[in-house]
Chains A and B, each alone.
Chain A
Amino acid sequence: DAKTTQPPSMDCAEGRAANLPCNHSTISGNEYVYWYRQIHSQGPQYIIHGLKNNETNEMASLIITEDRKSSTLILPHATLRDTAVYYCIVRARGGNQFYFGTGTSLTVIP
């Protein structure tokens, strides 16, 4: 069962930062936060993951609150190609399956 809550949809202006929130209030100490995105009719694409420290890579930044009950995925300069459904998933270290929630449908507007 999905253990995260995300807003169903968001809009973002092209070139601006897109901030996608995720609540995971029941996260346990050994669970990571993962973000994937799915562009229409494609397989999910890995974006980033973290445990408790903020993380940054070439695609995005992940900000995790100190109590780890929520996180925010930041796309610093959204482009039209970032339009997709973004999934926030929690999973224990060494755990097996990913269980997807309903995600956030992000639309980047020209």
Chain B
Amino acid sequence: GAVVSQHPSRVICKSGTSVKIECRSLDFQATTMFWYRQFPKQSLMLMATSNEGSKATYEQGVEKDKFLINHASLTLSTLTVTSAHPEDSSFYICSARRGADQETQYFGPGTRLLVL
């Protein structure tokens, strides 16, 4: 299967700081990437859809000014959590849809964010 990586795998930051999470498709070009958030013992919640070269589309209730998404190339999307607060502590997961195989999404390993 296709490989998607995320960096960092874990991050701890102080309240009020910004954190950037990278999502890379390693062996394919991803025209579309997706960002999810998962709180403990809950399911994945879609946050936004990221299209290469255009603005991200956010799900209802997700603050676009707080969760900045940049999809500058066909292999890289970044999620920046701005002015993070303890309630932003969560497991952030990205996925990528391969252009040649648009029916399947491949997920990254996730990034654990802890805001103190």
Contact = CB atoms under 8 A, between A and B. Distances in A.
Contacts of A41: 91, 110, 112
B43 A49 contact: no
B46 A98 contact: yes
Contacts of A98: 34, 46, 95, 105
B28 to A, nearest CB: 14
Residue among A2, A32, A41, A93 facing the most chain B CB atoms (10 A cut-off):
A41
A102 B45 CA distance: 10
Contacts of A99: 46
A32 B103 contact: yes
Contacts of A103: 43
B112 A43 contact: no
A49 B104 contact: yes
A46 B110 contact: no
A3 B112 CA distance: 28
Interface string B95-116: 1010000111111111010000
Contacts of B32: 96
B61 to A, nearest CB: 13
B76 interface: no
Contacts of B104: 34, 46, 49
Interface in B60-116: 91, 93, 95, 97, 102-110, 112
Interface of A: 2, 32, 34, 36, 38, 41-46, 49, 87, 93-94, 96-103
Given A46-B107, A49-B104, 5 more contacts: A41-B91, A41-B112, A97-B34, A97-B49, A100-B46
Interface of B: 1, 4, 6, 32, 34, 36, 43-46, 49, 91, 93, 95, 97, 102-110, 112
In the A-B complex, the 4 residue pairs with the smallest Cβ-Cβ separation, listed nearest first, are A43-B107, A100-B44, A44-B107, A100-B43
